[in-house]
Amino acid sequence: MKNRDLKESTHALLLGIYRRAGITHAKQVLKRLDIDTSKGWDDLVRDLLEDTSSHSFLFESLKETFKDLLMFGSRLFECYSISDNDVDSLFTLLDSKQPNEFNIDKLINIDKLKPNEQMSLFAKDETDSAITYYFLHHA
């Protein structure tokens, strides 16, 4: 990735984490990376983006945090009790949309996406004991 693209993507990740988790959590993430977080948010972001020596490390670390937020940090998580027949029908319906595996790289600039639908099936993750479908809610 080119330096300019890396800087823009790092900025998008910083803002995405901040928008979804708030300043306290965003600063905790940075503190765990041994980054001094005593400055205000805007100054902190500006300094991080100006220090090009750490962009690659920062980008990869923030990408993992952002992925965790999108996969596990949703306030829109809902569970329903449904019959086995309905489960099979639901799997058939969702699988007909051919969801991809979860890929965070497509979501780094999620706040710039302008989808046609308010909610869309984004990905499917399957293990031996569970199947998870991920939907993106675009506010």
Residue 17: which residues within 8 A CB-CB, separation 6 or more? 25, 26, 29, 62, 65, 66, 69
Residue 50: which residues within 8 A CB-CB, separation 6 or more? none
Read off the pLDDT band of 17 (50, 70, 90).
Answer: very high
Using one digit for the tens of pLDDT, what is the confidence trace for 28-58?
A: 999 999 999 999 999 999 999 998 888 899 9
